[in-house]
Amino acid sequence: MKTIIIGAGAIGMMQARELAQAGVEVTLIDKGLCGQEASWAGGGIVSPLYPWRYSRPVTALATWSQGYYSNLAESLEAESGIDPELTRHGLMMLSIEDQTEALEWASAHNNWAELIDKSEIYKLEPNLREGVSDALWMPQVGSIRNPRLVQALYKSIEREPLVNIIEQASVSGLVIESDVVVGVKIKGASIRADKVLVTAGAWSGNLLQSANVCMPVEPVRGQMILFNAKPGVVNRVVLCDGKYVIPRRDGRVLAGSTLEYVGFDKQTTEQAKQQLADTAIDLFPALAGAQVEHHWAGLRPGSPNGVPFIGAVPGVENLYVNTGHFRNGLVLAPAAVRVMTSLLLGLESPVDPEPYGFNSRALQTEIT
Ligand SMILES: Cc1cc2nc3c(=O)[nH]c(=O)nc-3n(C[C@H](O)[C@H](O)[C@H](O)COP(=O)(O)OP(=O)(O)OC[C@H]3O[C@@H](n4cnc5c(N)ncnc54)[C@H](O)[C@@H]3O)c2cc1C
């Protein structure tokens, strides 16, 4: 079977790797260079933020992926020589208003969260601002250094004989004959395949529009900054009022992120930079002594309730999507890719694929 995958973010590259490992021939096409959009720009927390606030379909994918991530990171390092730095340092959440719901969720999910008091908090994070008396602590949560993850994925598929990578080639449309997709158009030519899979992140909705299919996946900008801090200033992912800091192994600290509905505009703003820096320094005053060495923005593929679209596109035979992972594409990727692989190859899916299908969802427009 010959497959074209449109979009080489974490989802597209992971999908190409998995299909090729199953013996499928893949042409992977990106409008730019592989892994340079949201999958590079994200924070890499391997958990939804405030996981109890998500619906079951998101939790099901996240839970499967979290169990699989170590295996993936080790395999990728072996294949590519690049360590994606999966680090299980835990997630500490401050100022939780819906603590009761959080603890109820935790007791139904292997006690994935517990309340901790002042003494434990400062043992875990000695440099946290003074006066924090309680926190919700998820010790199993980790983060992945996503720019390394995408590099590792690239190296892994680059050496795979069944994967043909085409970069700097924007897919301008789908080739559809009698309601069957038979290929894609790039650079004024068409390439044919048995199946076409759209993994084009925030741009996926536009591609489906060219096939007259309405899928509510829209760009949601997120800005992030990076402090050039020394190791030990921040040791865990710490989340407070929707903003977070993430330590990398070399001491650098990411602070994010904004949630902005501004279309396909990837520009950064001084105001966001200042706000992100102020929030991070308020949490960890020692960050005031570190330089902000980088500031960037990425476009998340926003979808209604953050539930991705994974499966066949109605009305166009052999056309599939795996997109709309919104704020959680890095944590959801392994499970989402496995669900898609199962659907394409007729294998058993790791989770029930039904909630990710189109049904009536394609007609909804609200992105939350
Ligand atoms: C600031 C920020 C923080 C985040 N933090 C986290 C986090 O901590 N944890 C988490 O799990 N997730 C996080 N996310 C979300 C996560 O990054 C995304 O959900 C995920 O990366 C989406 O992956 P993707 O492969 O679908 O999209 P992308 O990585 O955007 O890849 C899509 C690819 O498709 C290509 N493409 C688009 N149109 C075309 C076309 N016409 N032809 C050819 N190629 C095309 C693009 O060039 C791009 O390379 C964050 C995102 C942002 C922006």
For residues 76-86, give the mean pLDDT.
98
For residues 55-75, give the mean pLDDT.
97
8 lines ligand 1 (CB under 6 A): yes
Looking at residue 211, what is its pLDDT? 87
38 lines ligand 1 (CB under 6 A): yes
Looking at residue 111, what is its pLDDT? 74
Task: Indicate the pLDDT class of residue 368, thresholds 50, 70 and 90.
Answer: very low
Q: Is the pLDDT of residue 365 over 70?
A: no
Rounded to the nearest angstrom, the distance between the alpha carbon of 37 and the centre of ligand 1 is 5
Atom of ligand 1 nearest to the CA of 172: 41
Model confidence pLDDT, tens digit, residues 294-329: 999 999 999 999 999 999 999 999 999 999 999 999
Contact 155, 79 (CB under 8 A): yes
Q: Is the pLDDT of residue 364 over 70?
A: no
For residues 85-89, give the mean pLDDT.
97
Atom of ligand 1 nearest to the CA of 199: 26
Task: Indicate the pLDDT class of residue 40, thresholds 50, 70 and 90.
Answer: very high
Looking at residue 363, what is its pLDDT? 52
- Give percent of the chain above pLDDT 90: 94
Rounded to the nearest angstrom, the distance between the alpha carbon of 318 and the centre of ligand 1 is 23
For residues 18-24, give the mean pLDDT.
98
For residues 27-44, give the mean pLDDT.
98
Q: Would you call the peptide bond into 257 cis, given omega within 30 degrees of 0 as the criterion?
A: yes
For residues 21-42, give the mean pLDDT.
98
Q: Residue 261: which of 344, 127, 367, 118 has the closest Cα?
A: 367
Looking at residue 367, what is its pLDDT? 45
How do beta strands 319-323 and 134-138 pair?
A: unpaired
42 lines ligand 1 (CB under 6 A): yes
171 lines ligand 1 (CB under 6 A): yes
298 lines ligand 1 (CB under 6 A): yes
Model confidence pLDDT, tens digit, residues 135-145: 999 999 999 99
Burial class of residue 56 (count of CB atoms within 10 Å of its CB; 0-12, 13-18, 19+): exposed
Q: Is the pLDDT of residue 290 over 90?
A: yes
| Rounded Cα gap, residues 134 and 358, in angstroms | 42
Task: Indicate the pLDDT class of residue 265, thresholds 50, 70 and 90.
Answer: very high
How do beta strands 180-186 and 189-192 pair?
A: antiparallel
Q: Give the domains, in start order, of the chain with CATH numbers.
A: 2-74+147-217+304-363 (3.50.50.60), 91-139+219-302 (3.30.9.10)
For residues 167-180, give the mean pLDDT.
96
User: Mean pLDDT over all residues of the chain?
Assistant: 95
For residues 15-25, give the mean pLDDT.
98
Contact 303, 216 (CB under 8 A): yes
